[in-house]
Amino acid sequence: SQTIHQWPATLVQPVGSPLSLECTVEGTSNPNLYWYRQAAGRGLQLLFYSVGIGQISSEVPQNLSASRPQDRQFILSSKKLLLSDSGFYLCAWSVRGLSTQYFGPGTRLTVL
Amino acid sequence: QKEVEQNSGPLSVPEGAIASLNCTYSDRGSQSFFWYRQYSGKSPELIMSIYSNGDKEDGRFTAQLNKASQYVSLLIRDSQPSDSATYLCAVKGSGTASKLTFGTGTRLQVTL
């Protein structure tokens, strides 16, 4: 069966510090991968998605970037965090070509 | 801007009753529809998917789709306190690869 991992689970960072969140998927090959952010009391906002190694599509201009160095690894980064980057970050995967998405446990980021 | 609209709630139903959750979408070419359940502080988990007009049943859950009215609903029969959560509607629009657009969710409270 497929499993998706995210770490860390929670993170408190000062404004201006860098960020690296990691997501890995097990039990599948060539997945589509997605990064979402869910701000408090708001819906899921798609940040990035990837259909393959090194292939990243950005959905909204922002302070974040994403990379996919390996088939089942997706990384979300920032060079300098802003207060507005606080939120619940979710990684999701889907079978290539299908639209059903499955979410990881998420990382709760607080920027102070 | 492709939109997915949900009443934020809270929707309060007594234990044992039927909970009816509704969702409308703006993209008439939308192809696939999903319901996710999200407990407070947790990541969304897939409940059901529906692709064709009509009803789809899975245990206590029934998804209903009406593409002409651009409307999808989720019925929960014999509601239990454990069903108390936020329910997210997600839609795969036309020409959007495997990307989903999420509604902001309806919070359901099942009372004893």
DSSP secondary structure string for all residues of A8-76: -SEEEE-TT--EEEEEEEES-SS-EEEEEEE-TTS-EEEEEEEEETTEEEESS-SS-EEEEEETTEEEE
A107 touches chain B (CB under 8 A): no
Q: What is the pLDDT of residue B25?
A: 96
Q: What is the pLDDT of residue A1?
A: 87
pLDDT in tens, B44-82: 999 999 999 999 999 999 999 999 999 999 999 999 999
Q: What is the pLDDT of residue B93?
A: 84
CB-closest option in B44, B99, B105 to A103: B44
Q: Do B43 and A49 touch (CB under 8 A)?
A: no
- The pLDDT confidence band at residue B98, using thresholds 50, 70 and 90, is confident
As a dihedral over the C-alpha atoms of residue A37, residue A21, residue A107, residue B2, rounded to 10 degrees, the angle is: 20
Q: What is the pLDDT of residue B96?
A: 61
Residue stretches of chain A with pLDDT short of 50: none
* Mean pLDDT estimate for chain B: 94
Chain A, window 62-101: residues with a beta carbon less than 8 angstroms from a chain B beta carbon = 90, 94, 97-101
Q: What is the pLDDT of residue B94?
A: 79
User: How far does B41 lie from chain A, in Å, by closest CA?
Assistant: 9
| Chain A contact set for B49 (CB, 8 A) | 100
Q: Tell me if B53 sits within 8 A of B66, measured CB to CB.
A: yes
B81: left (phi over 0), alpha (psi -120 to 50) or beta: alpha
Tell me the residue type at A62: Q
- The maximal CA–CA distance of chain B, rounded, in angstroms, is 45
